[in-house]
Chain A
Amino acid sequence: MLAEIGFLSLILSIVVAIYAIVVSVYAERTHNETLALSGRNAVWVNFAFMALSTGMLQYALVTQDYTVAYVWSVSSPDMPALFRWSAIWGSQAGSLLFWSFLMSLFAAVAVWLNWHSQRRLMPYAIAFMMISVVFFSGLTLIYENPFERWWMTPTGIDAMGMQEYDVISAALQPPGTVEPSNSRLAETAKGLNPLLRHFGMAFHPPALYLGFVGFLVPFAYAMAALASGDLTRDWIKASRRWTLVAWLFLSLGLILGGRWAYDVLGWGGYWGWDPVENAAFLPWLTGTAFLHSVMIQEKRGMLKLWNMVLVIGTFSAVIFGTFATRSGLVESVHSFARSEIGFPLFFFWFSLTLLGAGMILWRRSQGLLRDEHRFTSVFSRESLFVLNNIIFMALFVAVFWGSFGAPITSELFLNTNITLGVDYFNQVTPPLFLALFILMGIAPLSAWGATSVSRLGRALLMPFLLTLATLGLFMLNGMTSIGALIGYGIVSLGGWVAIYETFRGFQARQRVHKESPLASLRMLFARNPRRYGGYMIHLGVTVIGIGIIGSTLFQQETQQTLSVGESLSLGGYELRYDSFDGGQITQDGRILDIANVTVLRNGHEVAQLRPRRDFFPNGDMSTMTIAGAHSTLENDVYVLLVGWEPITAASVTFKVYINPLINLIWWGSFILILGTIFATWPKEIIPARTREALRTGDPSLAAARGA
């Protein structure tokens, strides 16, 4: 019954969305305010139906209704509750529904927040958002209906005189069938792959989806601006924050995916340049480029055309990535069902890209995308930002070529299949990333219009000295590789610039205002969240960069078989095998084999680790190797249990990695996410009295109010 409600709501949500499209466009063309409002309300009704529909599937999952085919295929009675919730994105049908739900959610919130401030854009924006919603919910409905249930058709009597049945799946009960027993179905349900039962995997897909789907809003605003011809700065203002929101989730999704790979896959790495990973990285690159170049349009009225290309291109990259990963276009280690949705997705990607490009060209020919200023100096902030964009685009092209371009081109024109391996990415991307880091050090210090070299030099002096001090610290700790030191130096500079510029802003406030240091810092962030949030993101990126260089260049590994009491040594650590706990049975039916290991440094015990192997006898008899890790800021001692002598476990084989500085990646990610939240946070959240104080420039009042 509940599945039928979900199914019906999905259909109704599509009907309402189509109504919203038609009515909004008509209202805009005829300037009919009543109809425009009706279109707006339809967006909310669409969301209500989508929420009901998704809620029904979620409810079926949580209450273990295995008569729903989707529930049967992604969950099982022995699964912990968290993964019963997350099973909604466990497979194609559910994830498509969830994706449509998120699109509808973003549309509803965007309309709610921006209806008044972006009144002129909204009707067309609604149309573009709803077209996308209709496409994805239609895809769910037609190709991957998650509300299908199992039904039994009697086929005859077997030799034992028992009634035999065929099991079929259908959304509505076909005539002549009977309902199967839920408890019988529960016995055969196998549940989520053990590898996916990890907190990173529970939150990585929704974060990624929120990121992907979030780019719909800026895309719709850009298209609405083009369609209405209202190409003032309004659409940019509205799009910018939405892009930041999407960027926040996309970054989080990428980070969680890396963390999951590091924890679960047991190869000591976090990024493999696999096409599916790259498909998620591509919109991140264009989105990041846009977040930089949008500043030039806001401040100088330049790059209007280019910003359009970036916003539309980012959403186009999202849809392309969805198409490429779900159609089996390229061979990836991530497996997705090769379903029939490939062609519709390709069609949708192709038409939206064509439409976007066509509208940009149309408005350009009318002169509506002409820049208000010209580039006057090669050495100005706007030129450096353009350089930043060029390098982001170069990375985009390089990653696209490596993951999709080369395989597709060779298949089409050379009649062979050529893939570019990790070697390609390791050779092409580091110089581009380093170039970005150099710009991250210089661009924030340059001035609009033109910068004199001597002024820039003066501003760079302090961060440069701090960078040298950092390198000194690395050398004191025994770093001798010149190449690595250059890398660390380039990466550090941007971080020091961010810290130093924040400090200078803080100093300036302290000079002018009589307030406590903490109040100064808070006011600094409150008055200019984008600027100082941005510096925080830069600092986070620097910390991540140091972590990547350290863990990539200086990873050490060894493997050894140890008897009880024996130890191995690697990178200044000693690892002693103490004992073995075999055959531990957990509540959810796993069987654990655990080795107890002591990590020593200079003769002192620093950690007890329990690397283990989980065996899932209830599922598909799979195993899962869980590393034991001793994490410090300096490095991770990452221990894998490879094998043991049967029964006695008198000797055990370990594989041990030392991953230097790897935790900086997670800490830097934390700083980056925090900075993005700062930068995105709406100023309206600041209490009205404080805002008043800010406007009147009375800092004592603001400080007293705790701003």
Chain B
Amino acid sequence: MTATWEKSKIDASSPAAGSNRWQFLAGGLIMLVAIGYLILSGTATGARYFITVSEVVNDPQYVGQTVRISGAVVGETIQYDEMNLILDFTIAHIPEEFDDPAFALYQAVNDPEVARLPVHVSGQVKPDLLKHEAQAILTGAINEDGIFYATELLLKCPSRYEESHPHQSQTGTSQTGTSQTGTEG
């Protein structure tokens, strides 16, 4: 976008302003290079592969490499030592193609076939949103012991994985099925 602007300005300049033209051009060029360098070097530092649980479990190339993953939290595996802030839980692989995120999470934790990965986080307060069938986004690396040591744990924030349909019968109300109602965050 900056380039567009530079162009229009040069178009407008006349021979009288010629001496300034080079100043503007040189200044603009230096800035473009500086900004470009800033963004590129930041990219080199901040880039993380965002991969699946199955990839991190099955591909040895990721051992020790900092990556980002997303998985479905298996509720009964959550263990929290609140005195020392040590948090362990297991996440399950979420299928890559899905229409309904809540149903994908439900499937992930209930399918015994999909890859699972134990996660270890220390020094963090257990987030309120960490529970069964929540989606966790983690940054960290898998160790040779097969445990993912996370340095950052994020949970899909205000989400409502619950029934989108009431089920009514004469005998009373019960609820079945899962689907998501998204909540604006």
Asked if A and B bind, the verdict is: yes
Binding site for B on A (CB under 8 A): 72-74, 89-92, 95, 150, 152, 158, 160, 162-165, 167, 169, 180-181, 184-185, 187-188, 190, 192-193, 195-196, 205, 265-267, 272, 276, 303, 305-306, 309, 313, 328, 331, 333-339, 364, 370-371, 374-378, 383, 386-387, 389-390, 393-394, 396-398, 401-402, 406-407, 416-425, 427-428, 431-432, 559, 561, 620, 622-625, 640, 642-643, 653, 655
Interface 1/0 per residue, B32-58 and A, CB below 8 Å? 000100110111011111110000000
The answer to whether A401 touches B43 (Cβ under 8 A) is yes
The answer to whether A559 touches B123 (Cβ under 8 A) is yes
> What are the residues of chain A within 8 A of B78 when measuring CB–CB?
none
A162 and B169 in contact, given A378-B24, A394-B35 (Cβ under 8 angstroms): yes
**A–B Cβ pairs within 8 angstroms, 15 of them:** A158-B169, A181-B168, A195-B157, A331-B70, A333-B156, A335-B159, A338-B101, A364-B8, A375-B17, A398-B42, A402-B42, A418-B49, A419-B50, A421-B46, A625-B128
The answer to whether B39 touches A167 (Cβ under 8 A) is no
In whole angstroms, what is the CA distance A428 to B38 when docked? 6
A625 and B125 in contact, given A92-B184, A376-B20, A401-B43 (Cβ under 8 angstroms): yes
Residue among A91, A337, A375, A394 facing the most chain B CB atoms (10 A cut-off): A337
Give the shortest distance, in Å, between B176 (CB) and chain A (any CB): 10
Q: What's the interface size class on B, roughly?
A: 35 or more
Q: Is the interface of A mostly helix, strand, loop or mixed?
A: mixed
> Residue on A with the closest CB to B6?
A390
The answer to whether B45 touches A423 (Cβ under 8 A) is yes
> What are the residues of chain A within 8 A of B183 when measuring CB–CB?
90-91, 192-193, 196, 335
In whole angstroms, what is the CA distance A622 to B159 when docked? 12
8 Å CB contact of A306 from B8, B128, B131: B8
**B65 near A: Cβ within 8 Å?**
no
The answer to whether A640 touches B125 (Cβ under 8 A) is yes
In whole angstroms, what is the CA distance A169 to B175 when docked? 15
8 Å CB contact of B41 from A165, A169, A306, A427: A427
The answer to whether B2 touches A390 (Cβ under 8 A) is yes
A333 and B38 in contact, given A73-B181, A163-B170, A419-B50 (Cβ under 8 angstroms): no
> What are the residues of chain B within 8 A of A396 when measuring CB–CB?
1
The answer to whether A397 touches B39 (Cβ under 8 A) is yes
The answer to whether A653 touches B82 (Cβ under 8 A) is yes
A394 and B42 in contact, given A337-B182, A407-B50 (Cβ under 8 angstroms): no
The answer to whether B4 touches A427 (Cβ under 8 A) is no
> What are the residues of chain A within 8 A of B61 when measuring CB–CB?
none
Interface 1/0 per residue, B96-134 and A, CB below 8 Å? 000111000000000000000000000101111101000
Q: Is the interface of B mostly helix, strand, loop or mixed?
A: mixed
The answer to whether B181 touches A337 (Cβ under 8 A) is yes
The answer to whether B181 touches A390 (Cβ under 8 A) is no
Give the shortest distance, in Å, between A148 (CB) and chain B (any CB): 11
> Residue on A with the closest CB to B28?
A390
Give the shortest distance, in Å, between A651 (CB) and chain B (any CB): 8
In whole angstroms, what is the CA distance A640 to B170 when docked? 47
> What are the residues of chain A within 8 A of B173 when measuring CB–CB?
184, 187-188
In whole angstroms, what is the CA distance A541 to B156 when docked? 31
Residue among B28, B80, B158, B163 facing the most chain A CB atoms (10 A cut-off): B158
Give the shortest distance, in Å, between B48 (CB) and chain A (any CB): 6
In whole angstroms, what is the CA distance A392 to B51 when docked? 32
> What are the residues of chain A within 8 A of B165 when measuring CB–CB?
167, 169
Give the shortest distance, in Å, between B160 (CB) and chain A (any CB): 6
> What are the residues of chain B within 8 A of A267 when measuring CB–CB?
125
> What are the residues of chain B within 8 A of A313 when measuring CB–CB?
1
> What are the residues of chain A within 8 A of B166 when measuring CB–CB?
72, 150, 167, 180, 184-185, 188
A378 and B68 in contact, given A73-B181, A396-B1 (Cβ under 8 angstroms): no
8 Å CB contact of A205 from B41, B155, B184: B184
The answer to whether A276 touches B185 (Cβ under 8 A) is yes
The answer to whether B128 touches A196 (Cβ under 8 A) is no
The 9 A-B pairs of least Cβ separation, nearest first, read A424-B46, A337-B182, A643-B82, A334-B185, A428-B42, A335-B159, A417-B50, A423-B46, A162-B170
**B137 near A: Cβ within 8 Å?**
yes
A92 and B182 in contact, given A394-B35, A559-B85 (Cβ under 8 angstroms): yes
> What are the residues of chain A within 8 A of B43 when measuring CB–CB?
401, 406, 420, 424
In whole angstroms, what is the CA distance A642 to B126 when docked? 8
The answer to whether B13 touches A90 (Cβ under 8 A) is no
Give the shortest distance, in Å, between B3 (CB) and chain A (any CB): 10
8 Å CB contact of B139 from A92, A152, A421: A421
The answer to whether B83 touches A561 (Cβ under 8 A) is yes
Give the shortest distance, in Å, between A383 (CB) and chain B (any CB): 8
The answer to whether A160 touches B171 (Cβ under 8 A) is yes
In whole angstroms, what is the CA distance A74 to B51 when docked? 33
In whole angstroms, what is the CA distance A195 to B83 when docked? 25
> Residue on A with the closest CB to B9?
A375
The answer to whether B101 touches A377 (Cβ under 8 A) is no
